[in-house]
Amino acid sequence: MFEKTMADDFKGKKEDESSNEEDSDQEDSDVSDNELDDSTEARDGATTNTSVQNPFYTTEDHDDSDSEVSEDDSELEGDSDGKEEGSDVDSDDSDDDSDSSGGEEDDSKDKSEEAPATNDEDYLLEMLKSAREKKVRDCPPDIKLKQAVTDISFHPDENILALSNILGEISLFRYANEENKIERKVKMHKSGVRCLEYSQQGDKIISGGKDKLVKVLNLETGKVEAGSMSHSSALYSVASMEHGAVSGDEDGTVKIWDFRTNKCVLSSKRFDEFVSSFYLQETKNRLIASSGEGTIQSWDLRMNKADTQSEVYASELNCVAAVREETKLVVGDADGTLYIFNENQYGY
Protein backbone atom coordinates (compact mmCIF):
# COMPACT_ATOMS: atom_id res chain seq x y z
CA MET A 1 0.00 0.00 0.00
CA PHE A 2 2.75 2.24 0.95
CA GLU A 3 4.67 1.40 -2.21
CA LYS A 4 1.65 2.18 -4.40
CA THR A 5 1.26 5.52 -2.78
CA MET A 6 4.97 6.41 -3.42
CA ALA A 7 4.62 5.37 -7.05
CA ASP A 8 1.58 7.49 -7.53
CA ASP A 9 3.32 10.50 -5.99
CA PHE A 10 6.37 10.03 -8.25
CA LYS A 11 4.13 9.71 -11.31
CA GLY A 12 2.24 12.91 -10.34
CA LYS A 13 5.49 14.80 -10.04
CA LYS A 14 6.62 13.61 -13.48
CA GLU A 15 3.41 14.80 -15.01
CA ASP A 16 3.75 18.16 -13.29
CA GLU A 17 7.33 18.58 -14.55
CA SER A 18 6.36 17.66 -18.10
CA SER A 19 3.47 20.10 -17.99
CA ASN A 20 5.80 22.82 -16.73
CA GLU A 21 8.24 22.07 -19.56
CA GLU A 22 5.45 22.30 -22.11
CA ASP A 23 4.38 25.63 -20.65
CA SER A 24 7.97 26.95 -20.84
CA ASP A 25 8.33 25.68 -24.42
CA GLN A 26 5.07 27.45 -25.27
CA GLU A 27 6.35 30.65 -23.72
CA ASP A 28 9.65 30.30 -25.58
CA SER A 29 7.80 29.84 -28.84
CA ASP A 30 5.66 32.85 -28.06
CA VAL A 31 8.77 34.90 -27.37
CA SER A 32 10.39 33.75 -30.61
CA ASP A 33 7.18 34.51 -32.48
CA ASN A 34 7.20 38.01 -30.97
CA GLU A 35 10.82 38.49 -31.89
CA LEU A 36 10.11 37.31 -35.40
CA ASP A 37 7.22 39.71 -35.69
CA ASP A 38 9.43 42.54 -34.39
CA SER A 39 12.15 41.72 -36.87
CA THR A 40 9.62 41.57 -39.67
CA GLU A 41 8.28 44.99 -38.68
CA ALA A 42 11.82 46.30 -38.50
CA ARG A 43 12.58 44.93 -41.96
CA ASP A 44 9.40 46.44 -43.31
CA GLY A 45 10.34 49.78 -41.76
CA ALA A 46 13.79 49.57 -43.23
CA THR A 47 12.31 48.83 -46.61
CA THR A 48 10.17 51.91 -46.39
CA ASN A 49 13.26 53.93 -45.46
CA THR A 50 15.10 52.62 -48.60
CA SER A 51 18.00 51.31 -46.57
CA VAL A 52 19.16 47.78 -45.89
CA GLN A 53 19.35 46.89 -42.20
CA ASN A 54 20.25 43.83 -40.19
CA PRO A 55 17.02 42.04 -39.23
CA PHE A 56 18.48 40.89 -35.97
CA TYR A 57 18.94 44.51 -34.82
CA THR A 58 16.11 46.43 -33.23
CA THR A 59 14.99 49.83 -34.38
CA GLU A 60 16.39 51.39 -31.27
CA ASP A 61 19.78 49.82 -31.95
CA HIS A 62 19.62 51.16 -35.50
CA ASP A 63 18.76 54.64 -34.24
CA ASP A 64 21.67 54.46 -31.88
CA SER A 65 23.98 53.45 -34.70
CA ASP A 66 22.68 56.31 -36.84
CA SER A 67 23.29 58.71 -34.02
CA GLU A 68 26.77 57.30 -33.63
CA VAL A 69 27.41 57.71 -37.32
CA SER A 70 26.10 61.26 -37.22
CA GLU A 71 28.41 61.94 -34.29
CA ASP A 72 31.27 60.46 -36.25
CA ASP A 73 30.24 62.63 -39.17
CA SER A 74 30.12 65.64 -36.88
CA GLU A 75 33.56 64.70 -35.63
CA LEU A 76 34.72 64.44 -39.24
CA GLU A 77 33.13 67.81 -39.97
CA GLY A 78 34.85 69.16 -36.91
CA ASP A 79 38.10 67.71 -38.20
CA SER A 80 37.45 69.27 -41.60
CA ASP A 81 36.68 72.58 -39.91
CA GLY A 82 39.86 72.17 -37.99
CA LYS A 83 41.66 71.44 -41.16
CA GLU A 84 40.18 74.54 -42.73
CA GLU A 85 41.26 76.50 -39.74
CA GLY A 86 44.58 74.79 -40.01
CA SER A 87 44.67 75.75 -43.68
CA ASP A 88 44.06 79.30 -42.59
CA VAL A 89 47.00 78.96 -40.29
CA ASP A 90 49.00 77.39 -43.10
CA SER A 91 47.98 80.24 -45.37
CA ASP A 92 49.14 82.63 -42.71
CA ASP A 93 52.38 80.71 -42.56
CA SER A 94 52.61 80.80 -46.34
CA ASP A 95 51.96 84.53 -46.21
CA ASP A 96 54.77 84.82 -43.73
CA ASP A 97 56.96 82.71 -46.02
CA SER A 98 55.97 84.86 -48.99
CA ASP A 99 56.76 87.95 -46.97
CA SER A 100 60.12 86.51 -46.06
CA SER A 101 60.74 85.47 -49.68
CA GLY A 102 59.69 88.97 -50.77
CA GLY A 103 62.20 90.37 -48.32
CA GLU A 104 64.84 88.08 -49.75
CA GLU A 105 63.92 89.21 -53.26
CA ASP A 106 64.19 92.81 -52.17
CA ASP A 107 67.59 92.05 -50.68
CA SER A 108 68.66 90.33 -53.90
CA LYS A 109 67.39 93.32 -55.88
CA ASP A 110 69.29 95.66 -53.64
CA LYS A 111 72.38 93.50 -54.10
CA SER A 112 71.86 93.38 -57.85
CA GLU A 113 71.47 97.16 -57.87
CA GLU A 114 74.58 97.52 -55.79
CA ALA A 115 76.52 95.10 -58.01
CA PRO A 116 76.57 97.33 -61.15
CA ALA A 117 77.53 100.28 -59.03
CA THR A 118 80.36 98.25 -57.57
CA ASN A 119 81.38 97.10 -61.04
CA ASP A 120 81.31 100.69 -62.29
CA GLU A 121 83.47 101.78 -59.39
CA ASP A 122 85.90 98.93 -60.03
CA TYR A 123 86.01 99.81 -63.72
CA LEU A 124 86.62 103.47 -62.91
CA LEU A 125 89.39 102.56 -60.48
CA GLU A 126 90.97 100.28 -63.07
CA MET A 127 90.81 103.04 -65.66
CA LEU A 128 92.40 105.54 -63.30
CA LYS A 129 95.05 103.02 -62.36
CA SER A 130 95.81 102.18 -65.98
CA ALA A 131 95.92 105.90 -66.82
CA ARG A 132 98.53 106.47 -64.13
CA GLU A 133 100.61 103.53 -65.21
CA LYS A 134 103.14 104.03 -67.94
CA LYS A 135 101.91 102.17 -70.99
CA VAL A 136 104.11 100.33 -73.43
CA ARG A 137 103.51 101.99 -76.77
CA ASP A 138 103.53 100.13 -80.05
CA CYS A 139 104.13 103.26 -82.11
CA PRO A 140 105.91 106.59 -81.64
CA PRO A 141 103.96 109.44 -80.05
CA ASP A 142 102.72 112.37 -82.09
CA ILE A 143 105.08 115.18 -83.02
CA LYS A 144 103.47 118.53 -82.33
CA LEU A 145 104.83 121.66 -83.97
CA LYS A 146 103.92 125.32 -83.73
CA GLN A 147 104.29 126.00 -87.45
CA ALA A 148 102.50 124.35 -90.38
CA VAL A 149 104.38 121.44 -91.89
CA THR A 150 104.92 121.59 -95.66
CA ASP A 151 106.71 118.29 -96.36
CA ILE A 152 108.33 115.26 -94.68
CA SER A 153 111.02 112.71 -95.54
CA PHE A 154 112.31 109.56 -93.78
CA HIS A 155 115.96 108.65 -93.44
CA PRO A 156 116.70 105.55 -95.59
CA ASP A 157 118.42 103.64 -92.75
CA GLU A 158 117.79 105.27 -89.37
CA ASN A 159 114.69 106.26 -87.40
CA ILE A 160 115.01 109.93 -88.27
CA LEU A 161 112.27 112.10 -89.71
CA ALA A 162 112.90 115.43 -91.45
CA LEU A 163 110.14 118.07 -91.35
CA SER A 164 109.95 121.40 -93.17
CA ASN A 165 107.74 124.39 -92.32
CA ILE A 166 106.49 127.63 -93.82
CA LEU A 167 109.27 129.63 -92.11
CA GLY A 168 112.02 127.99 -94.17
CA GLU A 169 113.19 125.68 -91.33
CA ILE A 170 113.99 121.98 -91.34
CA SER A 171 113.76 119.96 -88.11
CA LEU A 172 115.21 116.47 -87.59
CA PHE A 173 113.50 114.14 -85.08
CA ARG A 174 114.71 110.77 -83.90
CA TYR A 175 111.56 108.79 -83.23
CA ALA A 176 110.90 105.75 -81.04
CA ASN A 177 107.94 104.11 -79.34
CA GLU A 178 108.90 105.62 -75.99
CA GLU A 179 109.52 109.21 -77.10
CA ASN A 180 110.66 111.51 -79.89
CA LYS A 181 113.78 113.65 -79.63
CA ILE A 182 114.67 116.59 -81.78
CA GLU A 183 118.26 116.37 -82.98
CA ARG A 184 118.68 119.40 -85.17
CA LYS A 185 116.89 122.44 -86.48
CA VAL A 186 118.28 124.37 -89.44
CA LYS A 187 117.19 127.50 -91.30
CA MET A 188 117.39 126.53 -94.96
CA HIS A 189 115.44 129.16 -96.93
CA LYS A 190 114.45 132.76 -96.50
CA SER A 191 110.79 131.88 -97.03
CA GLY A 192 108.83 128.68 -96.77
CA VAL A 193 110.23 125.28 -97.71
CA ARG A 194 108.05 123.74 -100.41
CA CYS A 195 109.64 120.29 -100.62
CA LEU A 196 112.47 118.17 -99.18
CA GLU A 197 114.00 114.72 -99.66
CA TYR A 198 116.81 112.62 -98.14
CA SER A 199 119.59 111.60 -100.48
CA GLN A 200 119.85 107.92 -101.35
CA GLN A 201 122.83 107.54 -99.01
CA GLY A 202 121.07 109.44 -96.19
CA ASP A 203 123.98 111.86 -95.70
CA LYS A 204 122.25 114.88 -97.28
CA ILE A 205 118.86 116.59 -97.40
CA ILE A 206 117.69 118.29 -100.59
CA SER A 207 115.14 121.07 -100.29
CA GLY A 208 113.33 123.44 -102.60
CA GLY A 209 111.87 126.72 -101.41
CA LYS A 210 109.59 129.49 -102.32
CA ASP A 211 112.73 131.55 -102.86
CA LYS A 212 113.28 129.56 -106.15
CA LEU A 213 116.41 127.87 -104.81
CA VAL A 214 117.43 124.25 -104.47
CA LYS A 215 119.63 123.73 -101.42
CA VAL A 216 121.52 120.80 -99.91
CA LEU A 217 122.14 120.24 -96.20
CA ASN A 218 125.25 118.18 -95.47
CA LEU A 219 124.35 116.18 -92.36
CA GLU A 220 127.99 115.29 -91.60
CA THR A 221 129.23 118.89 -91.48
CA GLY A 222 125.88 120.55 -90.69
CA LYS A 223 126.48 123.12 -93.44
CA VAL A 224 124.07 124.28 -96.13
CA GLU A 225 125.52 124.00 -99.60
CA ALA A 226 124.12 126.79 -101.70
CA GLY A 227 125.21 127.04 -105.31
CA SER A 228 123.73 128.19 -108.55
CA MET A 229 120.86 125.66 -108.35
CA SER A 230 117.82 127.83 -108.99
CA HIS A 231 114.60 128.03 -111.00
CA SER A 232 112.76 130.86 -112.60
CA SER A 233 109.79 130.27 -110.31
CA ALA A 234 109.10 128.81 -106.87
CA LEU A 235 109.92 125.15 -106.34
CA TYR A 236 107.15 122.58 -106.02
CA SER A 237 108.79 119.11 -105.90
CA VAL A 238 112.20 117.40 -105.62
CA ALA A 239 113.52 113.82 -105.79
CA SER A 240 116.96 112.40 -105.03
CA MET A 241 119.16 110.63 -107.58
CA GLU A 242 122.40 108.69 -107.26
CA HIS A 243 124.71 111.66 -107.75
CA GLY A 244 122.27 114.51 -107.65
CA ALA A 245 118.59 115.47 -107.67
CA VAL A 246 115.72 116.43 -109.89
CA SER A 247 113.48 119.45 -109.20
CA GLY A 248 110.26 120.86 -110.63
CA ASP A 249 108.75 124.31 -110.25
CA GLU A 250 105.35 125.96 -110.48
CA ASP A 251 105.74 126.81 -114.17
CA GLY A 252 106.21 123.19 -115.25
CA THR A 253 110.01 123.22 -115.68
CA VAL A 254 112.04 120.13 -114.75
CA LYS A 255 115.76 120.29 -113.99
CA ILE A 256 118.29 117.56 -113.21
CA TRP A 257 121.28 118.49 -111.03
CA ASP A 258 124.69 116.87 -110.64
CA PHE A 259 126.02 117.47 -107.10
CA ARG A 260 129.54 116.65 -108.15
CA THR A 261 129.64 119.81 -110.24
CA ASN A 262 126.59 121.64 -108.76
CA LYS A 263 125.42 122.20 -112.32
CA CYS A 264 122.17 121.53 -114.19
CA VAL A 265 122.56 118.68 -116.69
CA LEU A 266 118.98 118.77 -118.03
CA SER A 267 116.30 121.45 -118.23
CA SER A 268 112.96 120.60 -119.84
CA LYS A 269 109.65 122.42 -119.87
CA ARG A 270 106.95 119.92 -120.82
CA PHE A 271 104.08 121.16 -118.64
CA ASP A 272 102.05 124.34 -118.56
CA GLU A 273 101.39 124.04 -114.84
CA PHE A 274 103.27 122.90 -111.72
CA VAL A 275 105.24 119.65 -111.54
CA SER A 276 103.50 117.77 -108.76
CA SER A 277 105.52 114.55 -108.29
CA PHE A 278 108.42 112.40 -109.55
CA TYR A 279 109.11 108.70 -109.85
CA LEU A 280 112.66 107.62 -110.74
CA GLN A 281 113.49 104.29 -112.45
CA GLU A 282 117.27 104.50 -112.47
CA THR A 283 117.72 100.83 -113.33
CA LYS A 284 115.78 101.56 -116.53
CA ASN A 285 117.19 105.06 -116.92
CA ARG A 286 113.73 106.58 -116.86
CA LEU A 287 112.21 109.54 -115.04
CA ILE A 288 108.43 109.97 -114.79
CA ALA A 289 106.61 113.10 -113.60
CA SER A 290 102.97 114.12 -113.05
CA SER A 291 101.65 117.64 -113.45
CA GLY A 292 98.90 120.00 -112.43
CA GLU A 293 97.64 120.19 -116.00
CA GLY A 294 96.61 116.52 -115.84
CA THR A 295 99.37 114.88 -117.90
CA ILE A 296 102.19 112.35 -117.35
CA GLN A 297 105.63 112.83 -118.87
CA SER A 298 108.68 110.53 -119.02
CA TRP A 299 112.35 111.23 -119.83
CA ASP A 300 115.02 108.94 -121.15
CA LEU A 301 117.99 109.57 -118.87
CA ARG A 302 120.39 107.72 -121.13
CA MET A 303 119.55 109.94 -124.06
CA ASN A 304 118.93 112.88 -121.71
CA LYS A 305 115.68 113.93 -123.43
CA ALA A 306 111.91 113.85 -123.04
CA ASP A 307 110.30 110.56 -124.03
CA THR A 308 106.53 109.92 -123.72
CA GLN A 309 103.62 112.15 -122.72
CA SER A 310 100.08 111.06 -121.84
CA GLU A 311 96.75 112.50 -122.81
CA VAL A 312 95.24 115.24 -120.67
CA TYR A 313 93.04 113.91 -117.87
CA ALA A 314 90.01 115.63 -116.37
CA SER A 315 91.73 116.70 -113.14
CA GLU A 316 95.19 117.63 -111.98
CA LEU A 317 97.50 114.71 -111.20
CA ASN A 318 99.11 114.96 -107.77
CA CYS A 319 101.21 111.83 -107.24
CA VAL A 320 102.86 108.98 -109.12
CA ALA A 321 104.35 105.63 -108.04
CA ALA A 322 105.13 102.15 -109.39
CA VAL A 323 103.92 98.72 -108.17
CA ARG A 324 104.48 95.04 -109.05
CA GLU A 325 108.21 95.35 -109.50
CA GLU A 326 107.81 98.56 -111.47
CA THR A 327 105.65 96.93 -114.13
CA LYS A 328 102.57 99.01 -113.23
CA LEU A 329 102.34 102.78 -112.91
CA VAL A 330 99.79 104.29 -110.48
CA VAL A 331 98.76 107.94 -110.71
CA GLY A 332 96.32 109.78 -108.42
CA ASP A 333 94.29 112.88 -109.28
CA ALA A 334 92.62 115.62 -107.28
CA ASP A 335 89.19 113.92 -107.48
CA GLY A 336 90.44 110.81 -105.65
CA THR A 337 90.77 108.62 -108.75
CA LEU A 338 93.69 106.22 -109.21
CA TYR A 339 94.84 105.42 -112.75
CA ILE A 340 96.82 102.22 -113.27
CA PHE A 341 98.89 101.80 -116.42
CA ASN A 342 101.01 99.04 -117.84
CA GLU A 343 104.62 99.89 -118.37
CA ASN A 344 105.10 102.45 -121.13
CA GLN A 345 101.40 102.39 -121.98
CA TYR A 346 100.31 105.66 -120.39
CA GLY A 347 101.25 107.77 -123.42
CA TYR A 348 100.19 108.01 -127.05
Give the pLDDT confidence of 226-241 residue by residue, as tens digits: 667 999 999 999 999 9
Closest CA to 250 of 264, 230, 265, 236: 236
Amino acid (1-letter code) at residue 322: A
pLDDT at 105 over 60: no
Amino acid (1-letter code) at residue 219: L
pLDDT at 39 over 80: no
Q: Which residues contact 299 (CB under 8 A, 6 or more apart)?
A: 254, 266, 268, 286, 287, 288, 289, 305, 306, 307
Q: Residue 16's pLDDT is what?
A: 52
Rounded to an integer, the average pLDDT of 68-73 is 42
Q: For residue 322, which phi and psi values (nearest 5 degrees)? A: -120, 145
Rounded to an integer, the average pLDDT of 246-269 is 94
DSSP state of 256: E
Burial 1-23 (b: 16+ CB within 10 A, else e): eeeeeeeeeeeeeeeeeeeeeee
Lowest mean pLDDT among 15-19, 50-54, 262-266: 50-54
| pLDDT tens column, 151-174 | 999 999 999 999 999 999 999 999
Lowest mean pLDDT among 88-92, 276-280, 341-345: 88-92
pLDDT at 41 over 50: no
Confidence band, pLDDT 50/70/90 cuts, at residue 312: very high
Residues β-bridged to residue 329 = 322, 341
pLDDT at 33 over 90: no
Distance CA 207, CA 152 (A): 11
Q: Residue 104's pLDDT is what?
A: 52
Rounded to an integer, the average pLDDT of 326-343 is 92
Instruction: Give, for 236, the enclosing helix (H) or strand (E).
Output: strand 235-240
- Pick 24 or 213 by higher pLDDT: 213
Q: For residue 164, which phi and psi values (nearest 5 degrees)? A: -120, 155
Q: Residue 107's pLDDT is what?
A: 54
pLDDT at 254 over 80: yes
Distance CA 81, CA 16 (A): 69
